[in-house]
Amino acid sequence: MAPRARRRHPLPALLLLCALLARLQVALPIAPPCTSERHYERLGRCCSKCEPGKYMSSKCTTNSDSICLPCGPDEYLDTWNEEDKCLLHKVCDSGKALVAVDIGNSTAPRRCTCMVGYHWSQDCECCRRNTECAPGLGAQHPLQLNKDTVCKPCLAGYFSDTFSSADKCRPWTNCTILGKKVERHGTEKSDVICSSSLPSRKPPNEAQVFLPGLIILLLFTSVALVAAIIFGVYYRKKGKALTANLWHWINEACGRLSGDKET
Ligand SMILES: *[C@@H]1O[C@H](CO)[C@@H](O)[C@H](O)[C@H]1NC(C)=O
Ligand SMILES: *[C@@H]1O[C@H](CO)[C@@H](O)[C@H](O)[C@H]1NC(C)=O
């Protein structure tokens, strides 16, 4: 019975299929634009949204598309939009330890981050100063930007004697290399203390201290010597005249001084 029925009515079924396909073909070109994020529906038609960096000055009408205008300075829009104005860039307030990590532009918002030495805290929604590691602890490196300090105990042979949010544990001083002996062993909080220098290293050190003094002394002596020679030569030539002049000058000066006192 069924095969007979198919043979008898193939045309209506085909017609139905064709009609369905035709409807689909007509519907397909219209449907996608308005479902895309770059279009919107208004007054029964599909209109363009504004591209990032522009806002919608006027919506579309029955016979014209939307009017988009660029964002002003210090403004942005980072999506395809129907906004009637752009968004204002935020301020990275240095007073709140914020600094711009990306200055932003008309299509991308400015991004702020905490300054070096600070990290973002969800609790206060603000930048907090990084934790300082106590003596005996050192900051784990590499330091993570915008992350709180991770403090680690100093390993054997290393120490930290300060509170610091950035300093690593430092290695103990190697007294052997300095040609000295260990006077006090190091701890995680203090450096090794080396004994005072060995005798063989002392003389050069003393020479270094006394050398400038010696040079000054030599300089003085030579200046005095030269002055004495010059004076000697001069005195031999015009000795008497000079002494007379000198005495005259001294007398005059004294006389003026005593005169000043009397008046
Ligand atoms: C805006 O900044 C974004 C992100 O930094 C960048 O990809 C884009 O090219 C910039 N656009 C312009 C117009 O400078
Ligand atoms: C000091 O340095 C020398 C030579 O580099 C090395 O052999 C020695 O192990 C070091 N000593 C310490 C305590 O680190």
Residue 200 CA to ligand 2 centre (angstroms): 21
- The mean per-residue pLDDT over the stretch 106-118 comes to 96
pLDDT given for residue 14 in this prediction: 45
- Looking at all shown ligands, the one closest to residue 156's CA atom is 2
Task: Tell me the pLDDT band of 226, cut-offs 50, 70 and 90.
Answer: confident
Nearest CA to ligand 2 atom 5: 177
Residue 187 CA to ligand 2 centre (angstroms): 17
Mutate to test the pocket of ligand 2, among 172, 174, 175, 195 (most ligand atoms within 8 A of CB): 174
> For the segment 235-251, what is each residue's pLDDT rounded down to a tens digit?
666 656 655 676 777 67
Task: Tell me the pLDDT band of 175, cut-offs 50, 70 and 90.
Answer: very high
Task: Tell me the pLDDT band of 64, cut-offs 50, 70 and 90.
Answer: very high
| Tokens (6 digits) for 132 | 């300082």
- Looking at all shown ligands, the one closest to residue 181's CA atom is 2
Residue 70 CA to ligand 1 centre (angstroms): 15
pLDDT given for residue 257 in this prediction: 61
pLDDT given for residue 96 in this prediction: 96
Cis peptide before 142 (omega within 30 of 0): yes
User: Which residues have any ligand 2 atom within 6 Å of their CB?
Assistant: 174, 176-177
User: Which residues have any ligand 1 atom within 6 Å of their CB?
Assistant: 102, 105, 107-108
- The mean per-residue pLDDT over the stretch 6-14 comes to 50
74-83, 85-94, 141-150: segment of lowest average pLDDT: 141-150
- The mean per-residue pLDDT over the stretch 164-191 comes to 95
> For the chain, what percent of residues have pLDDT higher than 90?
58
> What is the residue type of 136?
G
> For the chain, what percent of residues have pLDDT higher than 70?
70
> For the segment 88-102, what is each residue's pLDDT rounded down to a tens digit?
999 999 999 999 999
Task: Tell me the pLDDT band of 35, cut-offs 50, 70 and 90.
Answer: confident
- Looking at all shown ligands, the one closest to residue 106's CA atom is 1
| Tokens (6 digits) for 181 | 């002996």
Domains of the chain: 34-115 (2.10.50.10), 123-194 (2.10.50.10)
Could you tell me which residue, 200 or 172, shows the higher pLDDT?
A: 172
Could you tell me which residue, 18 or 240, shows the higher pLDDT?
A: 240
The model's pTM is 0.53
